A and B are shown apart, each in its own frame.
Chain A
């Protein structure tokens, strides 16, 4: 395979440690007085979007920020619990930028781009400094210095945290920086406003078309550059730990306008979520992976165990992660832990009323550390569990099961985070670049903030500098008018179908197909079945959808219809990507490709590349292009956590 010419990563020359410095030394700059002549649109106000919008405005650019929420502070970054990694080595336990880089590449099962990952590890240390300066109340030791905890896939303690609400505190930090800029007039905020199309004129991203969710009005906004920081597509499965409104629309609409979509089949199934309790369930709740620091995962050794938990003696319990992966134990990476849980449950050793979970048991830690210490570390998570599951984890082990949580795939971007459409950038979970085929815990917050605070503010200037004194594109340009017309027709189209099924009905139905055949374990046969089921379902969607109400006022059913439409199309692409990738790597596990002991078997000769899909008018006919991954620093190796 050779890299498609449109997929040049533009990684700078030099040794891996020097690339980012070399880039910054050569990058074109915009004079401070000229920055105000440029306008940048930022879509999404999570960690990546809020930090990018705030920083770009601080630098002097005019920024228009868009969120479909009522306030930027609602973005789903807020729900991240466990922590954020940084190579600070405050513990003196052998951490370094290189080790964080290596752990991330290895955790991603050698399917990420080295240059991007190294930059991420480098700027990780700046993130912690920045967030502390902004007043993020990270956990501290009694001496007043910052505390750390361990996370999966690492043998050092490099995770900074704020109780079980690290995402909340980081997002509020970034939101406050954004709010400051809104107050100062540097950022104009458009809330309850959803992107419905991206506009490309003469090959450059020129703006977006949005829908005001309160009035249904469709309007155009133009800019010199557009940043999509709109998160991932985990809700493609219907049941996931993502918030209800998380969707793929922004990146999917960009894909349809020419941005290549990379590795859609790389989805992360998080091992520690509360199992489904009944079929009306709308979403799943994650329990932070940090719990695995002090909780031990086990199932009964015997199938169909009927004894109550306190009557199952130690010798009849299978602490399977400690048994299979002794050196990482309960902190084995997410993909490995998830599959191990699935096997235990599939083997008839699941626990709970529906036999659909495994235990996460804190009794040893409570005995060793005392209840107070455990409460200090995880109190709010225990309370959350009790509220949802109705059981007290201080007394009864938690029940957990894997659920869709994060998507490593996303819009293809180069080293500058630019998509294949010049002037269109993707940041945070919306892009594909840093986590390969599997993301390590506490790395999503790191990447979102790295992209927004420390990468985009440099790289966007490099694109804008040569465009000095060119005005923003005219929103009366035929491309804007056409995009507006298409959007109006699309939303009116959903209302006109007047069929019999709600958008949620379709979402639940196709989400189940994706989960069953393109979830934790995939086979060629299953994926073909999924594809053959999805096509007629999409036809049914187009002819039997029912959306009540009108398009001129707040209409959540209509919003949902647009999102479900895009999710179904993405689902087809996901299945095709999973089908074409004839290997197992990270979160993509093809049952045909496994080692004798059931681990993922990569095929580096044929698949050490990024698959970047090109829109042709139909997801079933998308073209697969390739960017080769060249490992210059890290040696490709079989991941072992034993």
Chain B
């Protein structure tokens, strides 16, 4: 049977809009089941606020299964909170104790402007994918799926990178607000696969340079890997850097030939 947590102090960032001044507000909550998820705890707070005629806390969330990447909270200074390899929506109150103070903030990164309260705009991630995070394969002309065997270790490594849920925790955790883990995860996924080779070097150049338009620079802190709910390894950044360096030579030669 579930137990209840009491006397929890929530300090939550409230901000009415993108250009408004924000502030922390404090709420006390009681009688939270330890079976409840962290977001269900916020649901309960919000129900109470509505009943009191106050505006509930705005936060992004959707699947609540750790896969859609919509949820995004800094919990006591940690992106997605204290549990390793776990998105906020999968964090449960059994990880907290009665009497705890919990500070809840939005993702902190200049590339992710605040929309309201705890909700931020992560569209810059979409711009990076639009720049090259795909394999050009128009519908209809694909060869048989088993035509090109892919060694299992290669396929597995591609899958490890492809697991990225695009939540932005890596950026929020990074002291520089860099998006290298996100960008490199997509680049490794596609650049490892045989299908991705044709666009390998144009992809890495376009994606890295779009990333640099929006985000800070990587200085190898490794905070991103620690915060990643999918435990994506920073090794992917090394692969991205290697391919980017190569691309700067190759792409110059290719365009010179084309001239």
List residues of chain A with CB under 8 Å of any chain B CB: 51, 54-55, 58, 69-76, 78-79, 88, 90, 126, 128-135, 137-146, 162-163, 165, 167-169, 172, 175-177, 179-180, 182-183, 189, 191, 214, 243-245, 277-278, 280-283, 285-286, 353, 383-384, 387-388, 390, 453-454, 457, 500, 502, 504-505, 546, 548-549, 553-554, 556-557
Contact = CB atoms under 8 A, between A and B. Distances in A.
Tell me which of B37, B83, B121 has the highest count of chain A C-beta atoms within 10 A of its own C-beta: B37
Contacts of B165: 168
A74 B67 CA distance: 9
Given A243-B62, A548-B49, A554-B115, A453 B152 contact: no
4 smallest A-B Cβ distances: which pairs?
Answer: A144-B149, A183-B130, A176-B134, A133-B142
Interface of B: 1-2, 16-17, 32-33, 35-37, 39-40, 43-44, 47, 49-51, 53-56, 58, 60-70, 83, 85-86, 90, 92, 94, 115-116, 119, 121-123, 125-126, 129-131, 133-146, 149-152, 155-156, 158-159, 162-163, 165-166, 189-190, 193, 195-196
B65 A285 contact: yes
A384 B90 contact: yes
A71 B193 contact: no
A61 B123 CA distance: 24
Tell me which of B44, B86, B129 has the highest count of chain A C-beta atoms within 10 A of its own C-beta: B129
Given A144-B151, A191-B123, A282-B40, A134 B135 contact: yes
Tell me which of A71, A141, A384 has the highest count of chain B C-beta atoms within 10 A of its own C-beta: A71
A233 B191 CA distance: 38
Nearest to B146: A145
Given A129-B145, A180-B134, A69 B33 contact: no
A54 B143 CA distance: 19
Given A168-B67, A553-B16, A553-B116, 19 more contacts: A78-B63, A126-B142, A129-B144, A132-B195, A135-B190, A140-B149, A144-B152, A145-B146, A165-B163, A175-B129, A180-B134, A180-B136, A244-B61, A244-B62, A278-B36, A388-B37, A504-B43, A548-B50, A554-B115
Contact of B70 (A54, A70, A191, A554): A70
Contacts of B40: 280-282
B236 to A, nearest CB: 14
B63 A163 contact: no
Contacts of B60: 70
Contacts of A143: 149
Given A387-B90, A453-B139, A144 B62 contact: no
A140 B150 contact: yes
Contacts of B54: 548
Contact of B39 (A74, A179, A282): A282
Given A79-B67, A129-B145, A70 B122 contact: yes
Contact of B189 (A135, A278, A384, A549): A135
Given A280-B44, A548-B49, A554-B115, A137 B149 contact: no
A137 B158 CA distance: 7
Contacts of A505: 47
B117 to A, nearest CB: 8
A133 B65 contact: no
